[in-house]
Amino acid sequence: MTTTGEESGEHTGQKLDDIVRDADDYYNSLRRKHVSDTRLDVGVVSLVVWFASFAAIGLSAFALYGREIRYVLVSFLVAIVIAAAAGLATYTMRRRRGFKFAELGVLLNKMKQGGATSEDGLHLMDAVRQASLVAKKRKMDSAFKYGVVAFAVVALIGLNAAIGALAGVIAYLYFRFEALREYEREEKRYEDSKKDLLHSL
């Protein structure tokens, strides 16, 4: 290889190292985001389940056995146990979903140990794409959350559950549509750029 070729080789090798470093940063940010999202989800689910259980058990006890303060205490404790179980179940489900990033981590470790090749780079790109698809799936889940929030806010302000439900459905459909459109746009951009590359080679 000539000097220019060697320079070009060093440049290409540097770029491959940069790709690995960027992907590693991305992987770490995904992991951090996954941990913080998991904490938030566990907190929200536990709180909602605790409140619902407390209200349901407390009111049922009052209705069945009369108004006694010890039923409030028992309902409070039982609701805590149910909320803890719900939080644990949410945590387990979220952890299982987090394993979808594991392939990216394994590939990155392999590439960090040995010299990276462009074929490894293509595999890494596919793994990053899979990871970003999981993140997009979460945006769809967020659409449902926005729908629920819209329902609660409109129902409380308007004091009308039907209008609240309508607002919730509209908010859900809008955010879902936006998430799907973004996903499709990205897919098209990726396929087009792949075709362009093959044509240009």
Partner 1 sequence: MERPDLYVLARFLDILYQNGRRMKKTNLQNRVGLNYPRFIEYLEWMVSHGFVERQTDETASDLYALSPQGIDAHRRLVAWIRETMEGMRI
Tell the smallest beta-carbon distance from residue 149 to partner 1 (Å): 22
Tell the smallest beta-carbon distance from residue 76 to partner 1 (Å): 41
Tell the smallest beta-carbon distance from residue 109 to partner 1 (Å): 18
Which residue bears the tokens 């909602």?
48
Here the tokens at position 20 are 């690995």
Q: Is 32 helix (H, G, I), strand (E, B) or coil?
A: helix
CA 54/CA 58 separation, integer angstroms? 6
Q: Return the number of the residue (38 or 132) whose C-beta is nearest partner 1.
A: 132
CA 5/CA 187 separation, integer angstroms? 35
Tell the smallest beta-carbon distance from residue 29 to partner 1 (Å): 9
Q: Return the number of the residue (59 or 106) whose C-beta is nearest partner 1.
A: 106
Q: Contact residues for partner 1 (CB under 8 A)?
A: 1, 5, 8-9, 11-12, 15-16, 18-19, 22-23, 26, 115, 117-119, 121-125, 128-129, 132, 135-136, 186, 189-190, 193-194, 197-198, 200-201
Q: Return the number of the residue (113 or 200) whose C-beta is nearest partner 1.
A: 200
CB 97 within 8 A of CB 134: yes
Q: Return the number of the residue (2 or 96) whose C-beta is nearest partner 1.
A: 2
b/e sequence 3-17, b meaning 16+ C-beta within 10 Å: eeeeeeeeeeeeebe
Tell the smallest beta-carbon distance from residue 9 to partner 1 (Å): 7
Q: Return the number of the residue (76 or 146) whose C-beta is nearest partner 1.
A: 146
Q: Which residues contact 79 (CB under 8 A, 6 or more apart)?
A: 49, 50, 51, 53, 54, 57, 58
Q: Which amino acid is at 131?
A: A
